[in-house]
């Protein structure tokens, strides 16, 4: 994120309802924190009425994404995400030649496998999914957020039960991209 983009982000944040003001130096600190902490996937600044800004890490560096996000995971929720790669590294040598890709929760909320009670689940083990296809719903602050597959493949594992609370970054599904 260059200086002009950070300044524009700071100006946008000052205009948002519920966010009194945020200075360029604060945006720079957030962007630097994201660069210095590879275990963090994103930083979210949320004001009243669900308004907010999410700064998300990408392969090219830090890119701003402006979105209306209802939830911000507490700092305590981010610590387990740092431990997850270590656990994956231990399991990795025993993994088969096909590496499964995970679909992770982008927020804290309640997992729903179907669009409404009694309806068929979006996906089941063995279902073929394409990138962009809805695989579940996560309810956060009474807002139903459709979660889409980021990878094309076959669902090999569903890691959570219907109506189970989920955390930011928690794996929901494992997909075989070669299936």
Percent of the chain topping pLDDT 90: 39
Is residue 52 pLDDT above 60, yes or no?
no
For 39, the domain range is 3-66
Tell me, rounded to whole angstroms, the distance of Cα 173 from its chain centroid.
13
Cα–Cα distance, 78 to 87 (Å, whole number):
15
Verify that 61 and 117 share a domain, yes or no. no
Per DSSP, the three-state class of 115 is coil
Q: Which of 38, 66, 94 is the last residue of a domain?
A: 66
**Mean pLDDT (whole number) for 127-153:** 92
The pLDDT score that the predictor gives to residue 36 is 75
Verify that 124 and 45 share a domain, yes or no. no
The pLDDT score that the predictor gives to residue 129 is 94
The pLDDT score that the predictor gives to residue 164 is 94
Verify that 22 and 57 share a domain, yes or no. yes
Verify that 16 and 101 share a domain, yes or no. no
Answering whether pTM is above 0.75, one says: no
**In terms of pLDDT, which residue wins out, 156 or 83?**
156
What Rg, from alpha-carbon coordinates, does the chain have? 18
Domain count, the chain: 2
Q: Mean of the per-residue pLDDT values for the chain?
A: 73
Cα–Cα distance, 92 to 70 (Å, whole number):
35
Verify that 109 and 170 share a domain, yes or no. yes
């Amino acid at each position: 994120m260059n200086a002009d983009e950070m300044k524009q982000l700071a100006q946008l944040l000052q205009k948002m309802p519920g966010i009194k003001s945020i200075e360029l130096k604060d945006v720079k600190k957030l962007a630097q924190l994201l660069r210095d902490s590879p275990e963090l996937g994103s930083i979210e600044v949320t004001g009243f009425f669900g308004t907010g800004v999410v700064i998300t890490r990408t392969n090219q560096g830090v890119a701003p994404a402006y979105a209306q996000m209802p939830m911000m995971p507490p700092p305590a929720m981010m610590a387990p995400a740092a431990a997850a790669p270590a656990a994956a590294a231990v399991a990795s040598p025993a993994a088969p030649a096909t590496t499964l890709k995970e679909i992770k929760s982008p927020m804290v909320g309640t997992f729903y496998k179907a669009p409404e009670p009694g309806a068929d689940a979006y996906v089941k083990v063995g279902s073929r999914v394409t990138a962009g296809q809805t695989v579940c719903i996560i309810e956060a602050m009474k807002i139903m957020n459709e979660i889409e597959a980021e990878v094309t493949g076959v669902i090999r594992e569903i890691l959570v039960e219907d109506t189970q609370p989920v955390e930011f970054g928690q794996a929901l599904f494992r997909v075989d991209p070669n299936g």
